[in-house]
Chains A and B, each alone.
Chain A
Amino acid sequence: MLDWKLDFTWEILPRLIAAAGNTMLAAGGGYVVAVILGLVFALAQRTPSRTLTFVVRELVEFVRSTPLLLQIFFIYYVGPQFGLRLSPWTAGLIAIGLHYAAYLSEVYRGGIENVPKGQWEAARAINLSTSQTYRRIIIPQALPPALAGMGNYLVGILKDTPMLSVIGVAELMHTANSIGADNFRYLEPYTLVGLIFLAISLPTAWFIRRFDKALRRKMGLTR
């Protein structure tokens, strides 16, 4: 039956906490890629070029409707076939960044479409260029309502980083797997991984909710 070994717990906890650092690093790195690439996807869908809009739209749909795990394998293994060798970290960050860029582009799109049409017309009337309009008028207004959605995907990315263990990124899950295999004990490592995830994601989610509420109140958008 169940026997939780406390000394074993203390022995492995430092390793797991160090690995949690890698998990957060992977989540943070993937998020940076996603935030930037997502904006590119969102803006590309608003260009006058119909072909570009169509291609990016389909790409976003494709990425969103296929499993991240499969995308990770694809990016990691297909490169070498064509002579391009990616490290697990690079492949992992690209895969996770691309996957979440597709989701974030939808968040941005919603934010941009929510900016009233009059803002575009006014910007045009005072002779702002398109890039000026985006930079100085549209994005500053589109961003705050989108922040809550963006925050939720940060938590989402964090929870998807364990998938990187399959290509050998030494994050939490990977470390727990190797501890389990070395000691033939899975109870403590896997349970601790779950608890560490809770300890990171619950406060983050709580903070995002508070931040969103405060932001909405500040902007006069109370629901």
Chain B
Amino acid sequence: MPYRDFLVTYSDRFIDGTLITLGQFGLAVLVAIFAALISGLMKMAHSKTVRAAATVYIELFRGTSLLVQLYWFYFVLPLFGFTLEKFTAGFLTVGLCYGAYGAELVRGAIQSVPRGQWEAALALNMSPAQRMRRIILPQALVTILPPWGNLMIEILKGTALVSLISVADLMFETRQINNNTYLSAQAFGTALIIYYIFARFMLTPIMRWLERVMARKIGRT
């Protein structure tokens, strides 16, 4: 079958898969941001217990494989009484896994905000929550964006693993097409190109643009 015909025949399935992948990606990013922010802040808390809880989360997810976590969330967690739908288990696990990597970025970025900023906020009689929200986090955001861009690409790549718990994402559809047609080069090659286009020509430019906007907003150009 010529490649053109192949594309025409299977474009619907590639598109369906891509949409699911994008959904998984978007939701996983939200989970990751949330988890990274919370655990990154917890890691800097005064209370030893809070710090320990964050460390356990981070080391647990960074010390094991995403695939192991995915199977565990999907097959073992129901035994504890939490049954997750496969779609939910997918983005939740991917998000939690990369959130653990993001936590270190959050902590590093917050600590890189100069001492004087903390002191000035204190001198202005801001409460700790105000100081964090209005002074520290906006400046930390500028520092964190470049490495966070790399993490976003890792998250996109990580979502391919949800196909192994049968979420019908791009990877899953591609395998199905391959199983039906044995046209491996065409099937896997097309999927590689789709992932590449998303990472290189959409995600990366958006992150660059965000970096520029944030730097301008904070008066650093």
B184 touches A159 (CB 8 A): no
Task: Give which listed residue, B69, B161, B188, B196, contacts A65 with CB less than 8 A.
Answer: B196
User: Within the complex, what minimum Cβ distance (angstroms) separates B70 from chain A?
Assistant: 10
**Taking chain A's interface residues, is the majority helix, strand, or loop, or is none over half, making it mixed?**
helix
Flag B78-121 by CB within 8 Å of A: 1 or 0 each.
01110000000000000000000000000000000000000000
B76 touches A191 (CB 8 A): yes
Q: Which of A10-18, A30-38, A71-79, A127-135 is found at the contact surface with chain B?
A: A71-79
Contacts of A201 in B (CB 8 A): 63-64
Contacts of B68 in A (CB 8 A): 162, 173, 190, 193-194, 197
Expressed in whole angstroms, the Cα–Cα distance for A180 and B72 within the complex equals 12
Task: Give which listed residue, A62, A81, A162, contacts B65 with CB less than 8 A.
Answer: A162
Determine if A163 is an interface residue (Cβ-Cβ < 8 Å): yes
A66 touches B195 (CB 8 A): yes
Task: Give which listed residue, A66, A166, A180, A187, contacts B79 with CB less than 8 A.
Answer: A187
Expressed in whole angstroms, the Cα–Cα distance for A81 and B187 within the complex equals 12
**Taking chain B's interface residues, is the majority helix, strand, or loop, or is none over half, making it mixed?**
helix
What are 30 pairs between A and B in contact, CB < 8 Å?
A: A2-B79, A62-B196, A62-B200, A65-B199, A66-B196, A67-B157, A67-B158, A67-B160, A67-B161, A69-B163, A70-B174, A70-B191, A70-B195, A74-B185, A81-B183, A159-B65, A162-B65, A166-B164, A173-B67, A173-B68, A187-B79, A190-B68, A191-B72, A194-B64, A194-B69, A194-B72, A198-B59, A198-B63, A198-B64, A205-B63
Q: Give me the 8 closest cross-chain CB pairs, A-B, nearest first.
A: A65-B199, A67-B160, A77-B184, A74-B188, A67-B157, A186-B75, A162-B67, A197-B64
Interface residues of B (CB under 8 A from A): 59-60, 62-69, 71-72, 75-76, 79-81, 153, 156-161, 163-164, 171, 174-175, 178, 182-185, 188-189, 191-192, 195-196, 199-200
